[in-house]
Amino acid sequence: MIKTAIQKYLQTTGQKRMDVRTAMFDMDGVLYDSMRNHASCWHRTMEHFGFTFPEWEAYMHEGRTGAGTINIVSMRERGHLATDEECEAMYHYKSKLFEQCPEAKPMPGAYELLKKVKGVGVTPVIVTGSGQKVLLQRLQRSFPGIFRQELMVTAYDVKKGKPDAEPYLMGLEKGGRFLNADGGRLQPWQSVVIENAPLGVQAGVAAGVFTIAVNTGPLPDEVLYQAGANILYPSMQALADGWEELLDSLKSVVSD
Ligand code: CA
Protein backbone atom coordinates (compact mmCIF):
# COMPACT_ATOMS: atom_id res chain seq x y z
CA MET A 1 0.00 0.00 0.00
CA ILE A 2 2.72 2.51 1.01
CA LYS A 3 5.10 1.14 -1.64
CA THR A 4 2.43 1.32 -4.34
CA ALA A 5 1.71 4.95 -3.42
CA ILE A 6 5.39 5.86 -3.71
CA GLN A 7 5.79 3.93 -6.99
CA LYS A 8 2.83 5.83 -8.40
CA TYR A 9 4.29 9.16 -7.28
CA LEU A 10 7.68 8.35 -8.83
CA GLN A 11 6.02 7.45 -12.12
CA THR A 12 4.26 10.82 -12.34
CA THR A 13 7.48 12.72 -11.60
CA GLY A 14 9.76 10.57 -13.78
CA GLN A 15 12.18 10.20 -10.84
CA LYS A 16 14.04 7.01 -10.01
CA ARG A 17 13.74 7.51 -6.25
CA MET A 18 12.95 10.09 -3.59
CA ASP A 19 15.55 11.85 -1.46
CA VAL A 20 13.55 13.28 1.46
CA ARG A 21 15.38 16.16 3.18
CA THR A 22 12.52 18.23 4.55
CA ALA A 23 8.97 17.57 5.74
CA MET A 24 6.57 20.48 5.21
CA PHE A 25 3.87 20.67 7.87
CA ASP A 26 0.61 22.56 7.65
CA MET A 27 -0.37 23.98 11.04
CA ASP A 28 -4.14 24.21 11.78
CA GLY A 29 -5.65 20.74 11.95
CA VAL A 30 -2.19 19.11 11.70
CA LEU A 31 -0.01 20.45 14.53
CA TYR A 32 -2.86 22.08 16.47
CA ASP A 33 -6.36 20.83 17.13
CA SER A 34 -7.67 24.23 16.09
CA MET A 35 -10.14 23.49 13.31
CA ARG A 36 -13.04 22.89 15.68
CA ASN A 37 -12.75 26.52 16.85
CA HIS A 38 -12.46 27.88 13.31
CA ALA A 39 -15.41 25.82 12.07
CA SER A 40 -17.64 26.84 14.94
CA CYS A 41 -16.74 30.55 14.58
CA TRP A 42 -17.35 30.51 10.81
CA HIS A 43 -20.68 28.78 11.33
CA ARG A 44 -21.82 31.34 13.92
CA THR A 45 -20.59 34.28 11.82
CA MET A 46 -22.35 33.13 8.65
CA GLU A 47 -25.61 32.53 10.53
CA HIS A 48 -25.36 35.97 12.14
CA PHE A 49 -25.10 37.54 8.68
CA GLY A 50 -27.97 35.46 7.30
CA PHE A 51 -26.12 32.71 5.43
CA THR A 52 -26.45 28.95 5.79
CA PHE A 53 -23.09 27.40 6.57
CA PRO A 54 -22.88 24.15 8.56
CA GLU A 55 -19.67 23.57 10.51
CA TRP A 56 -18.49 20.77 8.21
CA GLU A 57 -18.44 23.20 5.30
CA ALA A 58 -15.70 25.17 7.04
CA TYR A 59 -13.45 22.13 6.56
CA MET A 60 -14.10 22.18 2.81
CA HIS A 61 -12.88 25.80 2.65
CA GLU A 62 -10.02 25.41 5.13
CA GLY A 63 -6.99 27.27 3.83
CA ARG A 64 -8.95 29.76 1.74
CA THR A 65 -8.82 33.46 2.68
CA GLY A 66 -11.78 34.79 4.69
CA ALA A 67 -12.98 36.93 1.76
CA GLY A 68 -12.66 33.96 -0.60
CA THR A 69 -14.93 31.82 1.57
CA ILE A 70 -17.45 34.63 2.12
CA ASN A 71 -17.70 35.31 -1.62
CA ILE A 72 -18.33 31.67 -2.50
CA VAL A 73 -21.18 31.54 0.01
CA SER A 74 -22.54 34.94 -1.08
CA MET A 75 -22.59 33.86 -4.74
CA ARG A 76 -24.36 30.65 -3.85
CA GLU A 77 -27.03 32.24 -1.66
CA ARG A 78 -27.51 35.69 -3.20
CA GLY A 79 -26.11 35.35 -6.69
CA HIS A 80 -23.55 38.14 -6.22
CA LEU A 81 -20.24 38.77 -4.46
CA ALA A 82 -20.02 40.37 -1.04
CA THR A 83 -18.87 43.97 -0.89
CA ASP A 84 -15.48 44.74 0.65
CA GLU A 85 -17.31 46.29 3.62
CA GLU A 86 -19.34 43.12 4.16
CA CYS A 87 -16.24 40.93 3.93
CA GLU A 88 -14.46 43.13 6.42
CA ALA A 89 -17.40 43.18 8.85
CA MET A 90 -17.80 39.41 8.70
CA TYR A 91 -14.12 38.67 9.03
CA HIS A 92 -13.92 41.06 11.97
CA TYR A 93 -16.91 39.36 13.63
CA LYS A 94 -15.34 35.93 13.10
CA SER A 95 -11.98 37.08 14.48
CA LYS A 96 -13.66 38.46 17.61
CA LEU A 97 -15.42 35.14 18.22
CA PHE A 98 -12.16 33.30 17.61
CA GLU A 99 -10.33 35.38 20.21
CA GLN A 100 -12.86 34.21 22.79
CA CYS A 101 -12.24 30.53 22.01
CA PRO A 102 -9.95 28.61 24.31
CA GLU A 103 -6.43 28.28 22.85
CA ALA A 104 -6.21 25.18 20.68
CA LYS A 105 -4.09 22.33 22.03
CA PRO A 106 -1.30 20.62 20.13
CA MET A 107 -2.62 17.68 18.13
CA PRO A 108 -2.03 14.34 19.90
CA GLY A 109 0.97 12.63 18.28
CA ALA A 110 2.28 15.82 16.65
CA TYR A 111 5.29 16.42 18.91
CA GLU A 112 6.19 12.73 18.88
CA LEU A 113 6.18 12.77 15.06
CA LEU A 114 8.19 16.02 14.85
CA LYS A 115 10.87 14.62 17.16
CA LYS A 116 11.08 11.42 15.10
CA VAL A 117 11.31 13.41 11.84
CA LYS A 118 14.06 15.65 13.15
CA GLY A 119 15.78 12.70 14.82
CA VAL A 120 16.50 11.05 11.46
CA GLY A 121 17.87 14.25 9.96
CA VAL A 122 14.77 15.35 8.05
CA THR A 123 14.20 19.10 8.54
CA PRO A 124 10.69 20.20 9.56
CA VAL A 125 9.31 23.25 7.74
CA ILE A 126 6.04 25.10 8.51
CA VAL A 127 3.77 26.07 5.63
CA THR A 128 0.64 27.82 6.87
CA GLY A 129 -1.86 30.36 5.59
CA SER A 130 -2.03 31.77 9.09
CA GLY A 131 -0.81 35.31 9.66
CA GLN A 132 -0.48 35.35 13.44
CA LYS A 133 2.46 37.52 14.45
CA VAL A 134 3.58 35.42 17.40
CA LEU A 135 3.52 32.11 15.58
CA LEU A 136 7.13 31.10 16.20
CA GLN A 137 6.97 31.73 19.94
CA ARG A 138 3.82 29.65 20.14
CA LEU A 139 5.37 26.82 18.12
CA GLN A 140 8.46 26.87 20.30
CA ARG A 141 6.31 26.67 23.41
CA SER A 142 4.30 23.70 22.09
CA PHE A 143 7.13 21.91 20.26
CA PRO A 144 10.44 22.91 21.88
CA GLY A 145 13.53 22.64 19.69
CA ILE A 146 11.80 21.89 16.39
CA PHE A 147 11.19 25.03 14.32
CA ARG A 148 13.17 28.08 13.17
CA GLN A 149 12.03 31.39 11.71
CA GLU A 150 13.83 30.90 8.38
CA LEU A 151 12.00 27.62 7.88
CA MET A 152 8.49 29.03 8.09
CA VAL A 153 6.16 30.06 5.28
CA THR A 154 3.21 32.13 6.54
CA ALA A 155 0.54 34.43 5.09
CA TYR A 156 3.20 37.17 4.85
CA ASP A 157 5.39 35.20 2.41
CA VAL A 158 2.96 34.47 -0.40
CA LYS A 159 0.57 36.27 -2.75
CA LYS A 160 -1.60 33.28 -3.52
CA GLY A 161 -2.70 30.99 -0.74
CA LYS A 162 -3.58 27.32 -0.90
CA PRO A 163 -4.87 25.61 -3.10
CA ASP A 164 -2.24 27.39 -5.23
CA ALA A 165 1.18 25.71 -5.29
CA GLU A 166 2.94 28.92 -4.20
CA PRO A 167 3.14 28.27 -0.42
CA TYR A 168 4.73 24.83 -0.89
CA LEU A 169 7.04 26.05 -3.68
CA MET A 170 8.15 28.75 -1.24
CA GLY A 171 8.67 25.98 1.35
CA LEU A 172 10.98 24.17 -1.09
CA GLU A 173 12.83 27.42 -1.68
CA LYS A 174 13.34 28.15 2.02
CA GLY A 175 14.36 24.53 2.63
CA GLY A 176 16.98 24.77 -0.11
CA ARG A 177 18.27 28.12 1.10
CA PHE A 178 18.83 26.51 4.50
CA LEU A 179 20.19 23.10 3.44
CA ASN A 180 21.93 23.48 0.07
CA ALA A 181 25.46 24.85 -0.09
CA ASP A 182 24.53 26.98 -3.13
CA GLY A 183 21.14 27.94 -1.62
CA GLY A 184 19.25 26.49 -4.59
CA ARG A 185 15.65 25.39 -4.26
CA LEU A 186 14.92 21.79 -3.23
CA GLN A 187 13.27 19.57 -5.81
CA PRO A 188 9.72 18.39 -5.07
CA TRP A 189 10.89 14.78 -4.50
CA GLN A 190 13.23 16.02 -1.77
CA SER A 191 10.32 16.75 0.55
CA VAL A 192 6.94 15.54 1.73
CA VAL A 193 3.83 17.53 2.65
CA ILE A 194 1.63 16.78 5.69
CA GLU A 195 -1.88 18.24 5.30
CA ASN A 196 -5.37 17.73 6.74
CA ALA A 197 -7.57 19.76 4.35
CA PRO A 198 -8.65 19.23 0.73
CA LEU A 199 -7.33 22.63 -0.43
CA GLY A 200 -4.04 22.07 1.38
CA VAL A 201 -3.65 18.65 -0.23
CA GLN A 202 -4.31 20.25 -3.62
CA ALA A 203 -1.57 22.81 -2.93
CA GLY A 204 0.97 20.11 -2.03
CA VAL A 205 0.10 18.08 -5.12
CA ALA A 206 0.24 21.19 -7.33
CA ALA A 207 3.78 21.82 -6.07
CA GLY A 208 4.66 18.27 -7.18
CA VAL A 209 5.39 17.04 -3.64
CA PHE A 210 4.43 13.63 -2.18
CA THR A 211 1.43 14.61 -0.07
CA ILE A 212 0.47 12.79 3.12
CA ALA A 213 -3.10 13.46 4.27
CA VAL A 214 -4.01 13.12 7.94
CA ASN A 215 -7.76 13.09 8.32
CA THR A 216 -8.21 14.88 11.64
CA GLY A 217 -11.64 16.35 10.78
CA PRO A 218 -15.18 15.22 9.88
CA LEU A 219 -14.81 14.92 6.08
CA PRO A 220 -14.79 11.47 4.44
CA ASP A 221 -11.34 10.12 3.41
CA GLU A 222 -12.57 10.16 -0.19
CA VAL A 223 -12.53 13.98 -0.25
CA LEU A 224 -8.80 14.01 0.58
CA TYR A 225 -8.00 11.28 -1.97
CA GLN A 226 -9.96 13.19 -4.61
CA ALA A 227 -7.87 16.26 -3.80
CA GLY A 228 -4.86 14.15 -4.80
CA ALA A 229 -3.46 12.79 -1.50
CA ASN A 230 -0.78 10.17 -2.19
CA ILE A 231 -1.44 8.40 1.08
CA LEU A 232 -3.74 8.91 4.07
CA TYR A 233 -3.47 8.35 7.83
CA PRO A 234 -6.50 8.60 10.15
CA SER A 235 -4.68 10.78 12.71
CA MET A 236 -1.35 12.39 13.58
CA GLN A 237 -0.83 9.66 16.17
CA ALA A 238 -1.23 7.02 13.44
CA LEU A 239 1.33 8.85 11.28
CA ALA A 240 3.72 9.10 14.24
CA ASP A 241 3.31 5.36 14.88
CA GLY A 242 3.83 4.54 11.19
CA TRP A 243 6.67 7.02 10.53
CA GLU A 244 9.53 4.47 10.55
CA GLU A 245 7.78 2.21 8.07
CA LEU A 246 6.87 5.16 5.84
CA LEU A 247 10.39 6.61 5.92
CA ASP A 248 11.90 3.20 5.11
CA SER A 249 9.74 3.01 2.03
CA LEU A 250 10.41 6.62 1.03
CA LYS A 251 14.13 5.83 1.11
CA SER A 252 14.08 2.42 -0.50
CA VAL A 253 11.36 2.32 -3.14
CA VAL A 254 12.80 2.64 -6.65
CA SER A 255 10.72 3.35 -9.72
CA ASP A 256 10.50 0.36 -12.07
CA1 CA B 1 -4.96 22.72 7.85
Task: State pLDDT tens for residues 161-200.
Answer: 889 999 999 999 999 999 999 999 999 999 999 999 999 9
Do 91 and 208 belong together in one domain? no
Q: How far is the CA of 255 from the centre of ligand 1 (A)?
A: 30
Q: How far is the CA of 247 from the centre of ligand 1 (A)?
A: 22
Among 48, 71, 99, residue at a domain's last position: 99
Query: CA 98 to CA 41: how far, in whole Å?
Result: 6
Residue 134 confidence (pLDDT) above 80: no
Q: Which domain holds residue 54?
A: 35-99
Do 116 and 242 belong together in one domain? yes
CB atoms within 10 A of CB 232: 18
Among 67, 99, 131, residue at a domain's last position: 99
Which residues fall within 8 angstroms of residue 159, CB to CB, at 6 or more apart? Answer: 166
Q: How far is the CA of 114 from the centre of ligand 1 (A)?
A: 16
What's the pLDDT tens digit per position in 95-131?
999 999 998 999 999 999 999 999 999 999 999 988 7
Do 135 and 195 belong together in one domain? yes
CATH code, domain with 42: 1.10.150.240
Q: How far is the CA of 214 from the centre of ligand 1 (A)?
A: 10
Do 29 and 81 belong together in one domain? no
> What ranges make up the beta strands (E) of the chain?
22-25, 123-127, 152-153, 191-195, 210-214, 231-233
The pLDDT, as a whole number, for residue 71 is: 94
Q: How far is the CA of 129 from the centre of ligand 1 (A)?
A: 9
Do 82 and 130 belong together in one domain? no
| pLDDT tier, 250 (very low <50, low <70, confident <90, very high otherwise) | very high
| pLDDT tier, 39 (very low <50, low <70, confident <90, very high otherwise) | very high
Q: Domain tally for the chain?
A: 2
Q: How far is the CA of 16 from the centre of ligand 1 (A)?
A: 30
Task: Give the phi and the psi of residue 157 in degrees, each rounded to 5.
Answer: -95, -15
Do 55 and 131 belong together in one domain? no
Reduced DSSP (H G I as helix, E B as strand, rest coil) percent helix, strand, coil of the chain, to 5: 50, 10, 40
